[in-house]
Structure 1
Amino acid sequence: MSERKPIHVDPDTRPILSVVIHTEEEFDWSKSYDRNATGVTHMRYIDRAQGVFDSFGIIPNYVIDYPIASKAEAFGPLKAFADSGRALIGAHLHPWVSPPFEEEINARNSYPGNLPRALEHKKLRILTEQITSSFGRPPLTYLAGRYGFGPNTGEILEELGYEVDISVAASIDYSADGGPDYSDYSSAPFWFGSRRRLLGLPGSGGYVGQLKAGGTPLYRQLMHPWLRKAKISGAVARLRLLERIRLSPEDYSEPEMRRLTQSLLADGVRIFVFSFHSPSVMPGGTPYVKNDADLERFLEKCRRYFDFFMRELGGTTMTPLEIKDWLEQH
């Protein structure tokens, strides 16, 4: 990513929550990438999540990929939400199901930022045009599929008129799989861009506990096979000396998300991005929700966390575009 300019938010600012949904096709996460896996059945149930957002006055940002943007049964419910002011629509590029289909399908190419510049530009341009056609307005927020922001992505976003990028997964390193390394990124927002000012809004995450200052280097050491075999890694986690947590109901409990939020607040963070994948609204849609009981637990985690954020922390909620406007005025 081009040179980042950190944004310092007044510590007296009320905590701000933005909800971003990776809105995408259904596929088997345990298998290789498949251009034919473009099912969108779960979108008939998206109101399960929208109802939770509505009850807290949250306007979610659905970042959508090509199978969602090009199928009426998928984008129809979202258009109704957007037209009534209950949702914001952005873009989410899954290269393997987004035309043109020119690249080899493999793990490295699943990160759009690894594609040749011309191909990444063409895929995102076609996706942008499809979203504009389906919704009647262009998307201005972007989250790269698999968090795959690359060396050319910033310039492409500028050229296509985007305003906010949400691709950074704070503190996570995907380089072992050919993806980007975000281990030196915090959850704080930043400005970037060479032609005009874009907002970088990381997905909230980080290290929690007494050893959190050790960050990614210490976490990597603790994940070493011999430390795990010696049960040291497990002991550190049980004692909550060092945990890596993301602000998502997928894989993380409500207490874990609370601990992350309190830790980030103590570090001066005031803007939070909560996210999950749209197929999680349907049992079997993702590994995180396998049955009806999982779904109810999943939605209840969302409700309880939003109640904690709004009521206990006295927080408020904004879309990524509202956050950008607010930051430009402060």
Structure 2
Amino acid sequence: MFDKRKYIGLPADSPPKLIVVIDTEEEFDWSAEPDSEANHVSAMAHIDRVQNIFNEYGIHPCYVIDYPIASQPEGYRLLKQFAENGQCEIGAHLHPWVNPPFQEELSKPNTYPGNLPYALEREKLLILRDKITENFGLTPIAYKAGRYGFGPNTATIMQELGFNIDLSVCPPLDSRADGGPDYRRFDARPFWFGGSDCSILELPCTGGFVGWAGGAALPLFQVAQVFRKFKAPGILSRLGAVDRLMLSPEGFSSAEHIKLTRALYSQGVRTFTWSFHSPSVVPGNTNYVQDDAQLREFLDSFRRYFDFFFNELGGEASTPTRIRDFMESMA
């Protein structure tokens, strides 16, 4: 899928750059079987809860939006205002089970768009791209596969449809259990890929294995997973040997955000992605935000991390398109 990838090394004195990517999507039961009728987008009436925080810090987030968001005024009304005011970027996010045409069998493996046949994956992304263009007056160039489901045909399809930034890689996620990708051997560094010219920029989700185990972290974590009933992963974490962390306010604490960032920064990483799902802005939609107290903690974690990143780490806010321009200027 990512043959011939060319990793990008930035100078050690480069200020770290932060982008925010929101998987902007319908509300649905993540544990249930896929349902093409589950396309409600009521949470989007409250997306300003996070946008107001971004405005405080001068951050222009990238909302990668799927078909229920792009096709329903309730889903895109506020986002269109933000985009017209120059406060955000808009990308595409393909959830196949709620994105026409509906030709595939509804199954967990088919919720990963990269598992679909080439023609169907292409047609779904084309329809999504055109719907975004119709309702926003702009054509997206950034893409994030639903469920991080990048497949063997995705790069070709992206190039054919004018996408040149991908946000799908999610280290250290392993979704093979229900037919998804395995990103455990990827890391947080950006890279060029796609055909002979490597013209697509990959900006991975920020995640990884951190701890004193170093290069042995992945095999050690795999062994710990075998002994999960004995709480082996937690023991390794408390010992500082290995933690599997992501830069997300969903399921990870502020201490873990800072721990991950410091570890990756010391390894030379200079691009960081803060990511989450839009339904989390309303309690009850995701496992991470079930009540008002959890919502307050969710939102407070944004400010804690941004204060750390901009004040202590000396970082800068950026966007996927601005980072692409920056990378091209260095080539």
Partner of 2:246: 246
- Quote the offset at 1:302 in angstroms: 0.8
Matching residue's letter, 1:273: T
TM-score, normalised by the number of residues in structure 1: 0.97
- Looking at structure 1, the residues matched to 211 and 250 of structure 2 have their Cα atoms a distance apart, in angstroms, of 21
- Quote the offset at 1:195 in angstroms: 5.8
SS of residue paired to 2:21: strand
Partner of 1:261: 261
- Quote the offset at 1:187 in angstroms: 0.3
- Looking at structure 1, the residues matched to 18 and 151 of structure 2 have their Cα atoms a distance apart, in angstroms, of 26
- Quote the offset at 1:274 in angstroms: 0.9
- Quote the offset at 1:228 in angstroms: 3.0
The residue correspondences of 1:12-27 to structure 2 (distance < 5 A) are 12-27=13-28
Partner of 2:122: 121
Is 1:166 matched up with 2:167?
yes
Cα deviation 1:43-91 (Å, max 9, x = unaligned): 0000000001111100000000000000011101000000000010000
Partner of 1:31: 32
- Quote the offset at 1:308 in angstroms: 0.5
Cα deviation 1:14-46 (Å, max 9, x = unaligned): 010000000000001121111111000000000
Cα deviation 1:196-216 (Å, max 9, x = unaligned): 511011000001111132232
- Quote the offset at 1:146 in angstroms: 0.2
For the Cα contact (< 8 Å) 2:64–2:92, is it kept in 1?
A: yes
- Looking at structure 2, the residues matched to 104 and 329 of structure 1 have their Cα atoms a distance apart, in angstroms, of 44
Partner of 1:284: 284
The residue correspondences of 1:113-262 to structure 2 (distance < 5 A) are 113-194=114-195, 196=197, 197-224=199-226, 227-262=227-262
For the Cα contact (< 8 Å) 1:163–1:321, is it kept in 2?
A: no
For the Cα contact (< 8 Å) 1:158–1:195, is it kept in 2?
A: no
Is 1:308 matched up with 2:308?
yes
SS of residue paired to 1:218: helix
- Looking at structure 2, the residues matched to 325 and 271 of structure 1 have their Cα atoms a distance apart, in angstroms, of 14
The alignment covers a number of residue pairs equal to 328
Cα deviation 1:121-155 (Å, max 9, x = unaligned): 00000000000001001011000000000000000
- Looking at structure 2, the residues matched to 211 and 314 of structure 1 have their Cα atoms a distance apart, in angstroms, of 28
- Looking at structure 2, the residues matched to 287 and 58 of structure 1 have their Cα atoms a distance apart, in angstroms, of 26
Cα deviation 1:164-209 (Å, max 9, x = unaligned): 0000001222112211111111100000111651101100000111
Matching residue's letter, 2:112: Y
Cα deviation 1:248-285 (Å, max 9, x = unaligned): 00000000010000000011100011100000000112
- Quote the offset at 1:236 in angstroms: 1.3
For the Cα contact (< 8 Å) 2:61–2:88, is it kept in 1?
A: yes
- Quote the offset at 1:233 in angstroms: 3.2
- Quote the offset at 1:234 in angstroms: 2.5
- Looking at structure 2, the residues matched to 110 and 238 of structure 1 have their Cα atoms a distance apart, in angstroms, of 35
For the Cα contact (< 8 Å) 2:15–2:315, is it kept in 1?
A: yes
State the superposition RMSD in angstroms.
Answer: 1.0
SS of residue paired to 2:140: coil
Partner of 1:109: 110
Identity value in percent? 52
The residue correspondences of 1:48-59 to structure 2 (distance < 5 A) are 48-59=49-60
- Looking at structure 1, the residues matched to 233 and 206 of structure 2 have their Cα atoms a distance apart, in angstroms, of 23
Partner of 1:41: 42
- Looking at structure 1, the residues matched to 232 and 173 of structure 2 have their Cα atoms a distance apart, in angstroms, of 21
Distance 1:195 1:127, change over 3 A: farther
Matching residue's letter, 2:266: A
- Looking at structure 1, the residues matched to 95 and 231 of structure 2 have their Cα atoms a distance apart, in angstroms, of 38
TM-score, normalised by the number of residues in structure 2: 0.97
- Looking at structure 1, the residues matched to 277 and 105 of structure 2 have their Cα atoms a distance apart, in angstroms, of 25
- Looking at structure 2, the residues matched to 152 and 36 of structure 1 have their Cα atoms a distance apart, in angstroms, of 27
Q: Which runs of 5+ in 2 are unaligned?
A: none
SS of residue paired to 2:268: coil
For the Cα contact (< 8 Å) 2:129–2:140, is it kept in 1?
A: yes
- Looking at structure 1, the residues matched to 26 and 308 of structure 2 have their Cα atoms a distance apart, in angstroms, of 31
SS of residue paired to 2:124: helix
For the Cα contact (< 8 Å) 2:210–2:217, is it kept in 1?
A: no
For the Cα contact (< 8 Å) 1:67–1:97, is it kept in 2?
A: yes
Once the two structures are overlaid, the 10-residue window that deviates more, 170-179 or 110-119, is 170-179
SS of residue paired to 1:223: helix
- Looking at structure 2, the residues matched to 94 and 232 of structure 1 have their Cα atoms a distance apart, in angstroms, of 34
Matching residue's letter, 2:163: Y
